A and B are shown apart, each in its own frame.
Chain A
Amino acid sequence: MFGLKSESILKLDEEYHELGDYAGKESRWCPGCGDNAILAATQKLCRDKQLAPEKTVFVSGIGCAARFPHYMGTYGFHGLHGRALPVAQGVKIRRPDLNVFVNMGDGDCCSIGTAHWIHAIRMNMKMVAMLHDNNIYGLTKNQASPTTPIGRNTATTPHGSLLKAMNPLTVTLGVTNVSFVAQVVEWIPDLLYKVIEQAFNHKGFAFVRILQRCPHFMPTLWDQLLANPDNLAVLDSENGVQLSDATAKVYKTRIAHDNSDLHAARQIASLEDKVPLGILYRDESVPTYDELKRPRRLHAPELAEAVLNKSFDRFGIFPNNAGPIGD
């Protein structure tokens, strides 16, 4: 408001938040779990952007990944299975001033939460949605999720899973109003950080699928990729992410890509022989629901109460011909 924001009035108020300020409880994820890498990258982003911890919310559903808010030193909401997105949308519509992040596992997002996922893409509200995709339900001990590879033996598919795994990228890219889709693996910290940063900078709903290791139940899942970094193809585009020299030396495969081209993004998302990494699609011009729906005046409890009372009075029965309260 006219540069009068309380933060800018007095420089005395300026506080610097260190990485530790964004740390919550000590992580109880297994050693070697990819969630730790995502947590570290996110905390780093918060520090580098100096997000006010009291203005930042992490929302999650149920699963290993859903423990994320506990380990952040910000506000958080550990909700119901599959319902992280609607909760996050509620937070955003009521408090547009907050930075909203959503952490979902592959079961959380792609199975029970699918309906919310589809509509969250279409509504395109400003938030970063991270899909921690380790291809398995870890918290419920080795159950098949929609992204579990075909033939995989799990607790729920003892003879091997029967269906081909779902591709969350092509699903997301198929929904109306999609505005930001990226894929990354958690074991390239440089790329992970930069993709999450771009997602945070995006104006609308930023969907980031993070391929993640589960050392306990899927210890060999990504061996092919770990052993042959050439199978990871970094998307090379002008406004995409630029790798640091150290990372670029290890990961040499590149695919030239224009991330404003939805059709090309869909083709790349469907690649079977290579795993594309980076920003597949970005469109800053898609309208966001939180802006379209932004209330023109602040929600005032007394106004809401007056309106509610008026409506209730139409149905109220008043004993002894007494009028409604306040009359």
Chain B
Amino acid sequence: MAKDSVQKAEVAAKESPLPAAPVPGLPREILATGDKSEKSTEILRNLLNFHLHGQRSDASTTDPADLWPALLHPFRDMRNIRYEFPLLVASDPRQKPVQSLSSRIDEIVEESGLEGDPKERLRRHAYQFEAALKGALAENSSANLTQLARQVGDKMLASATLEESRKSVLSLDIDTVLAGLPQAAEITDTSPDIAPKLYRSVATRHWAMQCLQWQADLEQLVHGLGDILRSDAENRPEARSADHLRNVLGTGKGEDLDFERMSAMLAKTRQADILPEPRSRRIIEALALLKAMLPVYGMDSELAPPFDPALYAGDVGEAVVQWNLRQIAMVEFFRALRIAELELENHYDPAKHDRFFEEFDYTHLSAGERALCPPVVLELSQQGLDASAAGALLELLDSDAPIKVILTLNAMDEDEFSGSPAWPARLAGAVMSLGSAFVFQGTGSNPEALQEAFSAGAAYPGPALFSVYAGTGAGGSELPPYLDAASALEARTLPCYRFDPSLGAEQATRMVLMNNPRPEQTWVSDIFSYFNAAGEESAMELTFTHADFLLADRRWRKEFWVLDHDLQEEALLPLVEFLALDVSQRVNRVPYVLAVDAGHEIRRVAINYRVLKQLLSVANRWRALQEAGGVDNSHARILLATERTRLESELQAKTVELQQQTESQLDQNLGELTREIVTRIADQLISGASVPGMPVASAPPVRRSQVSAPAALEEVAAPVEEADEDDAPISLDEPYIDSVLCTTCDDCTKMAPHIFAYDENKQAYIKDATSGTFQELVLAAEKCPVKIIHPGKPKNPAEKNLDEWIARAQPFN
């Protein structure tokens, strides 16, 4: 119920120097006369009958109207309570998409830079303005903020009966507030269609940002393809016709130029290559498809898009049709896009690509491409979702189609088979169990959470379901829409959670239970203040359950029975106590909840089995959500207990072991000490020379190094030998080159290409030493600027002047 914020608001309202709001008086407890009559036994029988079978015998008696769950009584008058509504929905993408009027007003006061009295004065005026704006809005659920705010400001000034100087201060303050309100925004109160309204605002913004990032890329592709076609047109023979030349050069010069002759002359020049016909056809087709999609991405085009991206589907069938249409269009578009990218680089190879693109379908789209498919938005109400439509919807939500479903719930109908809430309210849980779609469930009372979920869901590259209870609207609940929605959250009727598969594979990261008050408890309780029968102010702790939520709904009223003040029976039990009983103990007992009627009297209201059944179903579902959301998770609890037992037993074993060790050590030490003392005494007795404190003589310890000396020497020697080997100049008879040091200077390869060649790194090696003379090898070695050729020993002993060449080879070997 976001009671916190309401309470905070109350406090703020009390602190504010506004005239005190008409605080609703505390409800009164009515003293029962306590007479136990036959009549009361009769009533009790009827009550039991009602509780077990749902039939009311006193159908003629009418229950008091305007009955509110006891805990909600303090909020009967919402006029001066500051809470999340009305909302400012900005149309300017640079501003916060959604913000409550109250928080904006607070920000304006804080941002004013004023301190002390002027600040408090501004705050007072701003609150007055806020209340007036809310009053003005009450007539219609949404309006243009700037216009309405100006009207309200003018009206406040006109009706203020103040002296001139104070009036001018008020005028200044109102101007400050008006200037601080966002321009180009809508102000909207809570309403049954708040979810689709907010989604449109958030998603439009998200899509615009998405488009902005890739408009430039798309534009480049379109221009690139256009460039290819244009330059091809200029290469074609038609481009050399006199008419074309005249068009290109213009007629400004009259007939000074002879275009016919120019054309004839150009015809003789070399013909440039023109695009092959299949390629130009591919480019033209791709270009047309790209251009047609430009409007979908917020760009201008002379071609109409294949579908209207701003269309919202109102039922499941329509959404399926829309999605099929878009799927075809998007596959064609991305096929064209990929062809375009290949064509731009002239990488399109019909042999490779034709088959691929023939079979190209939605499954080929990458995640990035899917994110660029404009999602189908399906706006559903609970009543528009019958069983057959629901089946189709599940299919859609289990596919990877970008379809965003905003399901607005407005009643807790009873499922005729199970007695659980009718299944539109359970859809979110069912879809979450599929595991592939983004799921959000929440209430219309928390616009911030809605907004966050909507932007995450809009960005999610796949289907998303937003199941939102926005209040029943006129006719359903006794409560105003905000309180109605808030109490659905408070009563666990519709807990708020988010399931986002894009956050990882683990439940702990995907699933978040959020904004639920006291998530560790089954029900939430709060302090209820009242005047007791003696007229004294008193308080007690009351629990708010699903039964309280249903009590406020007129459609469920016949399942409740308002009890007479005088009826005092032990069989009557508060609901919480009733629930705490064993099933066997519940026999012949009737649970009741507390409510307050229009006359501020506290009433007990008995509930029947239908309410009880749905309440138990809601509690079960909440428990399952707690488990899924990691609150008091039973697996974790069991694991924790097991681990604790294990650790404790290990600890105990360790302690015992240590104790034993210590004891045995102690024993050993004692023994050694005793032995030493005995030995010393014996030594002294034998030698007769007593030198107290002198250590007992013992052999000098053998030095370990001495023992292992030969081994150590070996150890040291070994690496030295190795190092020698490593550093030793390699003296081989074979010629070789240090190829890694070769600078590729071409000297040797040009001098003796039959001997030297380049390897795969373009560095020289000796390809075949026998194909040339030793003399050639030595000359190359001398020429090599980095001296890396080693000629070795001559292969052919018959070579001329061998002695000289061997001598000259010496420095290089």
A interface residue numbers (CB < 8 A to B): 1-7, 9-10, 12-13, 18-19, 27, 29, 31-34, 36-37, 39-41, 43-44, 186-190, 213, 215, 226, 244, 246-247, 250, 296-302, 316, 318-319, 322, 325
Q: Please state if A32 and B746 are interface contacts (CB–CB under 8 Å).
A: yes
Task: Say whether A319 contacts B252, CB under 8 Å.
Answer: yes
Q: Which residues of B contact A33 (CB under 8 A)?
A: 745-746
With A9-B341, A10-B353 in contact, do A37 and B760 touch (Cβ < 8 Å)?
Answer: no
* Given A1-B214, A4-B338, A187-B785, A36 and B227 contact (CB-CB distance below 8 Å): no
Residues in chain A near residue B368, CB distance under 8 A: 2-4
Binds A, one of B54-62, B97-105, B215-223: B215-223
Give A44 to B741 CA distance when docked, in angstroms: 15
**Residues 304 to 356 of chain B near chain A (Cβ within 8 Å):** 337-338, 341-342, 344-345, 347, 352-353, 356
Q: A2 and B345: CB pair below 8 A?
A: no
Give which listed residue, A187, A298, A301, contacts B743 with CB less than 8 A: A187
Contact A44 B786 (CB under 8 A): no
Type the 1/0 row for B720-753, where 1 means its CB is closer than 8 Å to any CB of A. Answer: 0000000000000000001011111111001100
Q: A43-B762, A187-B743 are in contact. Are A4 and B337 (CB under 8 A)?
A: yes
A34 and B741 form a contact (CB under 8 A): no
Whether the pair A325, B252 counts as a contact (CB closer than 8 A) is: yes
Q: A2 touching B214 by the CB < 8 A rule?
A: yes
Nearest chain A residue, comparing its CB with the CB of B220: A298
Give, as a whole number of angstroms, the nearest-CB distance from A195 to chain B.
14
Q: How far is the CA of A218 from the CA of B750 in the complex (A)?
A: 20
B761 touches A9 (CB 8 A): no
Identify the closest chain B residue to A319 (Cβ).
Answer: B254
Closest Cβ of chain A: how far from B751's Cβ, in Å?
A: 7
Question: Once bound together, how far apart are the Cα atoms of A193 and B214, in whole Å?
Answer: 38
Residues of B251-299 at the interface with A, using a CB-CB cut-off of 8 Å, are 251-252, 254
Across the A-B interface, the 8 shortest Cβ-Cβ residue pairs: A2-B368, A40-B744, A37-B743, A40-B762, A31-B750, A298-B220, A6-B341, A31-B746
Q: Which residues of B contact A5 (CB under 8 A)?
A: 341
**Given known contacts A297-B216, A325-B252, A9 and B785 CB-to-CB distance under 8 angstroms:** no
Q: Which residues of A contact B226 (CB under 8 A)?
A: 300, 302
Q: A34 CA to B746 CA in the complex, in Å?
A: 9
* Complexed CA–CA distance, A262 and B367 (Å): 45
Q: With A and B bound together, what is the CA distance between A177 and B219 in angstroms?
A: 33
CB of A111 to closest CB in B, whole Å? 26
Tell which of A6, A29, A215 has the most Cβ of chain B within 10 Å: A6
Is B230 in contact with chain A by the CB < 8 A criterion?
yes
> Is B422's beta carbon under 8 Å from chain A?
no
Q: Please determine whether B352 and A13 come into contact, CB atoms closer than 8 angstroms.
A: yes
Using A10-B353, A31-B751, A36-B746 as known contacts, say yes or no to A325 and B250 having CB atoms under 8 A apart: yes
- B795 at the A/B interface (Cβ < 8 Å)? no
Cβ-defined contact, A189 with B216, below 8 A:
no
What are 17 of the A-B contact pairs (CB < 8 Å)?
A1-B214, A1-B217, A4-B366, A9-B341, A13-B347, A13-B352, A32-B746, A32-B783, A36-B744, A36-B745, A40-B763, A44-B761, A187-B785, A296-B216, A298-B216, A316-B252, A325-B252
The SS class assigned to the B binding surface is helix
Q: Which residue of A lies closest to B739 (CB)?
A: A189
Q: Is B435 an interface residue (CB 8 A)?
A: no
Q: When the two chains form their complex, are residues A189 and B252 in contact, meaning their CB atoms are under 8 A apart?
A: no
Kindly state whether residue B148 has any CB partner on chain A within 8 Å. no
Contact B356 A10 (CB under 8 A): yes
CB distance from A228 to the nearest CB of B (A): 13
Instruction: Tell me which residues across on chain A come within 8 A of B342, comparing CB atoms.
Output: 6, 9
Task: Identify whether the interface residues of A are mostly helix, strand, loop, or mixed.
Answer: loop
B369 and A4 form a contact (CB under 8 A): yes
Which residue of the partner chain B has the closest CB to A244?
A: B740
Nearest B residue to A219, CB-CB: B785
B738 contacts A246, CB within 8 Å? yes
Closest chain-A Cβ to B225's Cβ sits at a distance in Å of 11
Determine whether the beta carbon of A301 is less than 8 Å from that of B745.
no
Could you tell me the distance in whole angstroms from the C-beta of B459 to the nearest C-beta in chain A? Answer: 15
Q: Are A6 and B761 in contact (CB under 8 A)?
A: no
How far does the alpha carbon of A34 sit from the alpha carbon of B220 in the complex, in Å?
A: 43
B745 touches A31 (CB 8 A): yes
- Complex interface bits, B584-598 against A, C-beta within 8 A gives 1, otherwise 0: 000000000000000
A33 to B750, CA, bound (A): 12
Residues of A within 8 A of B757 (CB): none
A262 to B738, CA, bound (A): 37
A-side contacts of B747, CB under 8 Å: 31-32
Given contacts A9-B342, A296-B216, A301-B230, contact A189 B353 (CB under 8 A): no
Interfacial chain A residues near B352, Cβ < 8 Å: 10, 12-13
The answer to whether A226 and B785 have CB atoms under 8 Å apart is: yes
- 20 other contacts beyond A7-B347, A40-B761, A186-B743, with CB at 8 A cut-off? A2-B366, A2-B369, A4-B338, A4-B341, A9-B338, A18-B760, A19-B762, A34-B743, A189-B741, A189-B742, A189-B763, A190-B741, A297-B219, A298-B220, A298-B224, A299-B223, A301-B230, A318-B252, A319-B252, A322-B251
Closest B residue to A303 by CB, please name it.
B223
| A19 and B762 alpha carbons, distance in the complex (Å) | 8
Q: Which residues of A contact B760 (CB under 8 A)?
A: 18-19
Whose C-beta in chain B lies nearest to the C-beta of A26?
B746
A325 contacts across to B, CB distance below 8 A: 250-252
Asked whether any CB of chain A lies closer than 8 Å to the CB of B372, the reply is: yes
- In the assembled complex, the CB of A68 is this many whole angstroms from the nearest CB of chain B, namely 14
Q: B741 to A213, Cβ gap below 8 A?
A: no
Which partner residue on chain B sits nearest A185 by CB separation?
B743
Partner of A37, one of B223, B252, B744: B744
When distances are taken between beta carbons in the complex, the residues of chain B under 8 Å from A9 are 338, 341-342
B371 (CB) vs chain A CBs: closest residue: A2
Residue of A nearest to B750 (CB): A31
- B303 CB, nearest partner CB in chain A, Å: 17
Given A31-B751, A298-B219, residue A213 in contact with residue B366 (CB < 8 A): no
Closest chain B residue to A296, Cβ basis = B216
Q: How far is the CA of A302 from the CA of B230 in the complex (A)?
A: 10
Query: How far is A32 from B782 in the complex, measured between Cα atoms in Å?
Result: 12
Bound CA span A13–B701, Å: 77
Looking at the assembled complex, report how far the CB atom of B252 sits from the nearest CB atom of chain A, in whole angstroms: 7
A253 → chain B, closest Cβ, in Å?
Answer: 17
Residues of B within 8 A of A40 (CB): 743-744, 761-763
Q: How far is the CA of A318 from the CA of B745 in the complex (A)?
A: 65
Chain A residue with the shortest CB-CB distance to B353: A10
Bound Cα distance from A209 to B740, whole angstroms: 22
Cβ B745 vs Cβ A34 within 8 A: yes
C-alpha spacing A68/B352, complex, angstroms: 36
Give B789 Cβ to nearest chain A Cβ, in Å: 13
Contacts of A186 in B (CB 8 A): 743
Q: How far is the CA of A73 from the CA of B469 in the complex (A)?
A: 68
User: Is there an interface contact between A6 and B345, defined as CB atoms closer than 8 Å?
Assistant: yes
A51 shortest CB reach to chain B, Å: 14
Measured CA separation A298–B217 after assembly (Å): 9
Contacts of B345 in A (CB 8 A): 6-7
Give, as a whole number of angstroms, the nearest-CB distance from B331 to chain A: 14
Whether B743 lies near A189 (C-beta < 8 A) is yes
Query: In chain B between 226 and 254, which residues have their CB closer than 8 angstroms to a CB of chain A?
Result: 226-227, 230, 250-252, 254
Residues on A with C-beta less than 8 A from B742 are 189
> A43 to B758, alpha carbons, bound, how many Å?
14
Q: How far is the CA of A93 from the CA of B656 in the complex (A)?
A: 79
Chain A residue with Cβ nearest B342: A6
Residues of B within 8 A of A36 (CB): 743-746
CB-nearest residue of chain A to B746: A31
Chain B residues with Cβ below 8 Å from A244 are 740
- Cross-interface CB contact of B744 among A18, A189, A190, A247, cutoff 8 Å: A189
Chain B neighbourhood of A29, CB < 8 A:
746
Minimum distance in angstroms from B499 CB to a CB of chain A: 26
**In the bound complex, how far is the Cα of B738 from the Cα of A247, in angstroms?**
11
Alpha-carbon distance between A325 and B249 when the two chains are bound, in angstroms: 10
CB neighbours (8 Å) of B250 from chain A are 325
Interface centre among A13, A29, A41 (most CB of B within 10 A): A13
- B254 to A, closest residue via Cβ: A319
